[in-house]
Amino acid sequence: MSENPTRSIEPSYLKYKGRYGGIFAWIFSTDHKRIGLLYLWSIMTFFIVGAILGLLMKMELISPGKNIMGPQTYNGFFTLHGIIMIFLIVIPGLPAVFGNFFLPIMIGAKDVAFPRLNLTSWWLYMFGALVVLTSQFTGGGPPDTGWTFYAPYSFQTPTNMLPAVTGAFILGFSSILTGLNFIVTIHRMRAPGMGWFKMPLFPWSLYATGWIQLIATPIVGVTLLMIIAERTLNIGFFDPSLGGDPILYQHLFWIYSHPAVYIMILPAMGAISEIIPTFARKTIFGYKAIIASTVAIAFVGYFVWGHHMFTSGMSGVALYTFSILTFLVAIPSAIKVFNWVSTMHKASINLQTPFYWAVSFIFVFMIGGFSGLVLGALATNVHLHDTHFVVAHFHFIVFGGTGFAFLGAMHYWFPKVFGRKYDAGWANIGWLTFFIGFITLYGPMFYLGIAGMPRRYYDYVEVFHGGNIISSFGSIILIAGIAIVITNLVKSAISGEKADQNPWGGITLEWKVPSPPPLENFDEIPHVTRGPYDYS
């Protein structure tokens, strides 16, 4: 593998000249680092769209009655917001961006196992995104089912569901191929000496995520195909008038979509497990416990889908079982929180922006996790089902968890990716604004949900006005925070100060290559002899 041991001054991956020039040097590149950045740019673009949709919905909800949009537009907005945020952003999210960029480097490889398949995944992703977005502009108007495409409405609504569902299917395929690629990469391409338990925790989380992508995604794939068949061929699987069962759709959908939550959060936890030891400058507490909990989450996560359906109609035994399993899956998550906190204990912490993101991740993740237990308990669930409490819960987990970890990872690896430093002052201001906006936006939704405000309505009664004003106000702060963070990062990527090879004093392998890394990452494939967080 190491045919060129002595080339020391290689051009960085951002600069080398390949067969193609201009934009083609990127969109036809099979270099895992360029593909990672392709995903980064695509995801950032979609995220801005999704966030603006969210902002507009909050503006609609700032007071009762119609403000800026009617019910049908609102339905279209939350559907598109959900599809973009879930399928285009948080599911590819950390694996597609940082997994692609850093997995090979962190395990001491030159690339992923199947570089061309990797590029195919990105193309499928863009193609799927395009198909999803055409649903907005063609046919019978924007889809209005919500991102879950619940039957029977999803094949009865006159809106343009086919492209949305087909696009989601294609995106699932892209996700499967990424997971497959990472699993094979981790099995086959670890550097000499890197046993399974010398592997850093981010690759470990990608490994578990890869398996979830591989095992869960086909189920939703075939379910979406069935919805397509319902709409085009009237086939009857989920149509009660033809003998089908709409509840069966919910089961099949959540068999995938609950594990998908762990596709979102496990890599986020992996990134946090990288950031914390680096800034605490000590070895991570309970390395093997974190691995075990990662695998346990991936495993138990398959058996909890029923908790999305406590009010849909299931047998009592099924209800208890799903409720108990839901409580069980909280345990490994809690183990990780204890591990992170213990890592910080008595550490001389280097307070930098990525660390702020990491600790605020733990904070919002815990709120999200505890509120998840409230929803996982049968009695409270009946009261809170389909209220704003649920919206608050999953935004704390999905946006708070994955989003904070993503931005933490972005700041942490920024010097490595672009070879430049971000502006630390603005980065901290951005983080603080983001954090305050986040809590102000989603915090009141817990209260609103308990008070009984249902989700997915463009209107509400006067009694919910107060909480909604605070929440909508928070959305403005949050958007300002997002704008500061993105502007700062983009500006710094173009004209920031040059960064060193190892600005944080990290000891995993990515800090042993130049910033930005050369095309082949390593001059010589390293021999690993120490554990990943061995600071002694």
Partner 1 sequence: MEQTSGNPHIHRDDEASKIGMWLFIFTEMLLFGGLFIVYSIYRYLHPVAFELAADELDVLVGTANTVILLVSSMTIAMSVTAMQKGNKKLTLALLGATLFLALAFLVNKYFEWGSKISYGLYPGSERLHEFGHGDTLFFGLYYFMTGLHALHIIIGVVIISAVMYRVHKEMVHPTKYALLENTGLYWHLVDLIWIFLFPLFYLVT
- Tokens 């094979």 sit at which residue? 184
In whole angstroms, how close is the CB of 125 to partner 1 at the nearest point? Answer: 17
Shortest Å distance, C-beta 246 to partner 1: 13
Cα 374 to Cα 364: distance, rounded to the nearest angstrom: 16
Longest dimension (CA), the chain: 72
Q: How far is the CB of 519 from partner 1 (least distance, A)?
A: 8
We find the least distance from the C-beta atom of residue 30 to partner 1, in angstroms, to be 4
Minimum CB distance to partner 1 smaller for 423 or for 510? 510
User: In the complex with partner 1, which residue's Cβ is closer, 248 or 493?
Assistant: 248
Between 203 and 221, CB nearer to partner 1 = 221
Q: Which residues bind partner 1 (CB under 8 A)?
A: 1, 16-20, 24-25, 28-31, 110-111, 113-117, 119, 176, 180-181, 183-184, 187-189, 214-215, 217-219, 221-223, 225-226, 229, 233-237, 242-245, 248, 252, 255, 519-520
Q: Are 520 and 10 in contact (CB under 8 A)?
A: yes
Q: Which of 205, 317, 221, 312 is nearest to 267 (CA)?
A: 205
Both tokens of 345, joined, read: 């204990």
Of 237 and 414, the one with the shorter C-beta distance to partner 1 is 237
Contact 312, 347 (CB under 8 A): no
- With respect to partner 1, which residue has the nearer C-beta, 322 or 396? 322
Q: Taking a C-beta distance cutoff of 8 angstroms, is the pair 1, 525 a contact? A: yes
Could you give the C-alpha distances from 55 to 51, 61, 68, 75, 441, in angstroms and in order?
Answer: 6, 10, 12, 14, 10
* Residue 137 CB partners (closer than 8 Å, separation 6+): none
Nearer to partner 1, 99 or 496 (CB): 99
Q: If you compute the radius of gyration of the chain from its CA atoms, what whole number of angstroms results?
A: 23
127, 170 Cβ separation under 8 angstroms: yes
Tell me the helices (H) and strands (E) count for the chain, helix number first: 18, 0
Residue with tokens 């801005």: 48
500 to 62, 200, 418, 419: CA distances (angstroms): 47, 22, 11, 7
CB nearer partner 1, residue 44 or residue 248: 248
d(CA 318, CA 311): 12
- Least distance in Å: CB of 304 to partner 1? 18
Report in angstroms how near the CB of residue 22 gets to partner 1 at its nearest. 12
C-alpha to C-alpha distance for 375 and 304, rounded to whole angstroms: 12
CB of 216 vs partner 1, minimal distance in Å: 8
CB of 116 to partner 1, least distance (A): 6
Report the distance separating Cα 40 and Cα 418, nearest Å.
Answer: 12
Q: Minimum CB separation from partner 1 for residue 28, in Å?
A: 4
Q: Which is nearer to partner 1, 252 or 367 (CB)?
A: 252
Q: Which residues contact 238 (CB under 8 A, 6 or more apart)?
A: 151, 152, 155, 226, 227, 230, 244, 245, 246, 248, 249
Closest approach of partner 1 to the CB of residue 115, in Å: 6
Tokens of 375: 């929803």
**Residue with smaller CB distance to partner 1, 218 or 454:** 218
Dihedral in degrees, nearest 10, Cα atoms 405, 410, 411, 413 = 110
Residue 239 carries which DSSP code? -
- Given the complex with partner 1, which of 449 and 514 has the nearer CB atom? 514
Beta carbon nearer to partner 1, 85 or 212: 212
> In angstroms, what is the minimal distance from the CB of 276 to partner 1?
32
Helix residue ranges per DSSP H, 234-352: 246-280, 287-300, 316-344
